[in-house]
Structure 1
Amino acid sequence: MSYSALEQHFEQLHHLQHLGAICGWDQATMMPAGGNEARAEALGTLAVLCHQQLQDERLSDWFGEAKSEALSAGQQQSLAEMERSWRDATLLPQDLVRARSLAGSRCEHAWRSLRPANDWAGFLPLFEEVVALSREAAGARADALGLSRYDSLLELYEPGMRSQTLDALFNDLNQWLPGLITQVQEKQRNESVLQPAGPFATEQQKALGLEVMAKLGFDFNRGRLDVSVHPFCGGVSDDVRLTTRYDENDAAQALMGIIHETGHARYEQSLPAQWRKLPVGQARSMGVHESQSLFFEMQLGRHPAFLRQLSPLLNQHLGEQAAFAPDNLARLYTRVQPGFIRVDADEVTYPAHVMLRYQIERDLIEGNLEPRHVPERWDQLMQQYLGLSTKGDYKNGCLQDIHWTDGSFGYFPSYTLGAIYAAQLAEDMQQQLGRFEQLLSGDLAPVFNWLQQHIWQHASLLSTEELLQQASGQSLSSAPFRRHLEQRYLG
């Protein structure tokens, strides 16, 4: 059967991608600096091998024949996802795939030293090459798919999403978010908050993080925690790699980062075993993936009921102090203050960071903005959205993220889409199971079981819209997100 041949072919591709994911994890965590050029070449070769696997001349015939075979509903969706992966791969020539991989690896590696040095001038030539190649790839995709250049890249991360929809969502957020930020800051102005007194040894923070991961159901037999410059969750379902970064003067950063990445990991580890090595067994979209990490960090991790469970663990691992009292933690973990760094941003100001990046990357890919003008545009939008200037401060401005270094344009909207999805899911979960005040006060199994039933087990068997409809009964809307923020921060 042609469908069986396709399954075997895509399982082989999965094994190659697994190796690439672990090589990428090692590059970010343990690889000596001198190994980067060789690693970049190796990953470039691997990228070509994966691309060749997807361009195998037999695939076209197999897809045509498989469509006439008697397939189950799951197999039909699996066939559609394999064909989508094949279609995406055949849009780009191999030399462009290799060139993008090499340019991305070099730019990302250089960024790790150029960002701390605030060296935009050193970064710019590498970035210009990444942007040029990304525009070329976007043009090829756009011509084949009948989309704009930016939408053709957005399709890679959030299938079915279009910039027109994002514009409407972000315009809506922009109508009420600035006022909410002002209201919350005014409300919190006279609140008394104790700051935890460090230093907090890295080993103590790691022990705390590992215990919290266990509490959140992470399977250490199929994953591990390490350190990197930029926290991430990588690997594959049976080999999940989490990273965080530690600051001995601020334990909150690493802890909430670990909770966030554990949300990603639980989704990965809970994808259906039957489909795990096929495209249909992967996460539906980056927005859905972010919805799980933000559900863990924001909806669950910063809820007063969960913080009551966290309080004794903080005292146990970091030393008992009044700042770790539950009520103080609730105030501490919901402070709203506009800042420069996206990954450190609070829940209320975070969408502003995403809207800024969305506007810049869209204009970069569409050719309406040149790389050399990014710092100026960044500063302009930071002042517009958050009242802050990054003029001359590149490391806390346009050099702070890793995403653009390897050409991941179209990714950033997933973060705020994820927050919106998470709010919808949390609202529906509480309507079905009861308020979080009770759900998060004891055993968390009902929460995870609900996510397993409504999100995790479906992988890519359902579209994002179908996932939202069957879980929350509504299409994408920012209304639950607004209700969540207003309830949490204004009472």
Structure 2
Amino acid sequence: MSYSALEQHFEQLHHLQHLGAICGWDQATMMPAGGNEARAEALGTLAVLCHQQLQDERLAGWFNDAGNEVLSLQQQQSLKEMQRVWRDATLLPADLVRARSLAGSRCEHAWRSLRKNNDWHGFLPLFEEVVALSRHAASARADALGLSRYDSLLEQYEPGMRTHTLDALFDDINQWLPGLIGQVQEKQGHEPFLQPQGPFATDRQKALGLEIMTQLGFDFNRGRLDVSAHPFCGGVSDDVRLTTRYDENDAAQALMGIIHETGHARYEQGLPVTWRKWPVGQARSMGVHESQSLFFEMQLARHPAFLTQLSPLLNQYLGEQPAFAPENLARLYTRVKPGFIRVDADEVTYPAHIMLRYQIERDLIDGNMEPRHLPERWDQLMQHYLGLSTKDNYKNGCLQDIHWTDGSFGYFPSYTLGAIYAAQLAEAMQQQLGPFEKLLTGDLTAVFDWLQHHVWQHASLLSTDALLTQASGQALTVRPFRHHLEQRYLS
């Protein structure tokens, strides 16, 4: 049967991608600097092998014949997802795939030291090559899919999402977010809090993180925690790799980072076992993926009921002090203050960081802006959204993110989409199971079972719209996100 042949073919592709994911994790965590050029070449070759696997001349015939076979509803959706992946891959020639992989690896590796040295001018030539190749790829995709350049890249991360929808969502947020930021800052100005007093030894922070991961249901038999310059969750469902970074003067950074990445990991580990080797058994979209990490970090971990459970653990692992009292933690972990760094931003100002990046990357890819103008444009938008200037401060400005170094344009909107999805799911969960004040005291099994039933087990068997609708009873809307922020920060 042609469908069976397709399953075998995509299973082989999954194994190659597994190797690539682990090599990429090693490159970011353990590889000595001198190995980068060889690793870049190896990953480039592996990218070509994966690309060739998707350009196999037999695939067109198999897809045509499989469409006439008797398939279950799940197999039909699986066939659809394999076709989508195949279509995306056949849009780009192998030499462009390899060139993008090489340019991205070199740019990402150089970025680690260039950012530390605030060296924008050293970064620019590498970045210009990445942008040029990304535009080339976007043009090829756009011509084939009948989309704009940027929408053709957005499709890779958030299938079905378009610029006009993002513009409507972000315009909605932009109407009330600046006022909300001001209101919250005014309110919190009259609410004193204690800052935890370090230093906090890295080994104690790690032990605390591992304890929290255990309580959040992470399966250490199928994953591990390490350190990298930029926290991420990688690997595959049966071999999940989390990373964080530690600051001995700020334990919250690593702790909340670990909880965030554990949300990603629980989603990966919760995907249906029987479908994991094929596209249909993998994450629906980056926005849905981000919704799970934000559900863990923002909806759960910063809720007063969860912080009541966290308080004794902080005292146990980091040493007792008044700052770890639940009431103080609630104020501490919900502080709102505009800052330069996206990954350190609070829940309220975070969408501003994403809207800034969305505007810039959209204009870069659509040809309405050149890479050399990035620092100036970044500074303008930071001043517009958050009242901060990044002039000549490249390290904390346009060099702070890893995403663009390897050409991951179209990815950033997933972060705020994830926050919107998470709020919508949290609202639905509480309507069905009861308020978090009760759900987050003690055992969290009911929370994870709900997510397993409504999100994790569906993988890519449902579209994002269908996933949200079946879980919450309504299509995508900003309303629960706004309500969540107003209730948490103004009530």
Work out whether 1:202 is the aligned partner of 2:178.
Answer: no
Aligned to 1:399: 399
- Secondary structure class of the residue paired with 1:115: helix
Question: Equivalent residues in 2 for 1:109-124 (5 A)?
Answer: 109-124=109-124
AA aligned to 1:319 is G
Aligned to 2:38: 38
Question: Within 2, Cα distance between the matches of 1:461 and 1:23?
Answer: 29
Work out whether 1:459 is the aligned partner of 2:437.
Answer: no
Aligned to 1:477: 477
Question: Equivalent residues in 2 for 1:336-355 (5 A)?
Answer: 336-355=336-355
Aligned to 1:147: 147
Question: Equivalent residues in 2 for 1:228-267 (5 A)?
Answer: 228-267=228-267
Question: Within 1, Cα distance between the matches of 2:248 and 2:93?
Answer: 47
- Secondary structure class of the residue paired with 2:486: helix
Question: Equivalent residues in 2 for 1:421-432 (5 A)?
Answer: 421-432=421-432
Aligned to 1:279: 279
AA aligned to 1:458 is H
AA aligned to 1:452 is Q
Question: Within 2, Cα distance between the matches of 1:4 and 1:314?
Answer: 52
Q: Output one character per residue of 1:107-139: Cα deviation in whole Å (capped at 9) or x when no partner.
A: 000000000000000000000000000000000
Q: CA deviation at 1:63?
A: 0.2
Q: CA deviation at 1:190?
A: 1.6
Aligned to 1:85: 85
Question: Within 2, Cα distance between the matches of 1:382 and 1:371?
Answer: 17
Work out whether 1:310 is the aligned partner of 2:310.
Answer: yes
Aligned to 1:289: 289
Aligned to 2:94: 94
Which consecutive residues of structure 2, in runs of 5 or more, have no partner in the other structure? none
Work out whether 1:224 is the aligned partner of 2:224.
Answer: yes
Question: Within 2, Cα distance between the matches of 1:191 and 1:146?
Answer: 53
Question: Within 2, Cα distance between the matches of 1:282 and 1:65?
Answer: 24
Question: Within 2, Cα distance between the matches of 1:475 and 1:122?
Answer: 46
Aligned to 1:166: 166
- Secondary structure class of the residue paired with 1:374: helix
Aligned to 1:103: 103
AA aligned to 2:224 is R
Aligned to 2:335: 335
AA aligned to 1:468 is L
Question: Within 2, Cα distance between the matches of 1:175 and 1:351?
Answer: 12
AA aligned to 1:439 is L
Aligned to 1:385: 385
AA aligned to 2:300 is L
AA aligned to 2:179 is G
Question: Within 2, Cα distance between the matches of 1:473 and 1:416?
Answer: 21
Aligned to 2:298: 298
Q: Output one character per residue of 1:371-429: Cα deviation in whole Å (capped at 9) or x when no partner.
A: 00000000000000000000000000000000000000000000000000000000000
Q: CA deviation at 1:272?
A: 0.1
Work out whether 1:181 is the aligned partner of 2:178.
Answer: no
Alignment RMSD (CA, Å): 0.3
Q: Output one character per residue of 1:38-62: Cα deviation in whole Å (capped at 9) or x when no partner.
A: 0000000000000000000000000
Question: Within 2, Cα distance between the matches of 1:33 and 1:141?
Answer: 34
Aligned to 1:449: 449
AA aligned to 1:32 is P
Aligned to 1:373: 373
Question: Within 1, Cα distance between the matches of 2:9 and 2:330?
Answer: 50
AA aligned to 1:467 is L
AA aligned to 1:379 is D
Q: CA deviation at 1:158?
A: 0.1
AA aligned to 1:393 is N
AA aligned to 2:436 is F
Misfit runs of 4+, over 6 Å: none
Q: Output one character per residue of 1:33-88: Cα deviation in whole Å (capped at 9) or x when no partner.
A: 00000000000000000000000000000000000001000000000000000000
Question: Within 1, Cα distance between the matches of 2:323 and 2:82?
Answer: 51
Aligned to 1:434: 434
Q: Output one character per residue of 1:268-318: Cα deviation in whole Å (capped at 9) or x when no partner.
A: 001000100000000000000000000000000100000001001000000
AA aligned to 1:336 is V
Question: Within 1, Cα distance between the matches of 2:389 and 2:141?
Answer: 36
Question: Within 2, Cα distance between the matches of 1:287 and 1:385?
Answer: 22
Aligned to 1:9: 9
- Secondary structure class of the residue paired with 2:482: helix
Which consecutive residues of structure 1, in runs of 5 or more, have no partner in the other structure? none
Aligned to 2:360: 360
Question: Within 1, Cα distance between the matches of 2:232 and 2:50?
Answer: 23
Normalised to the residue count of structure 2, the TM-score between the two structures is 1.00
Q: CA deviation at 1:356?
A: 0.0
Q: CA deviation at 1:442?
A: 1.7
Residue-pair matches, total: 491
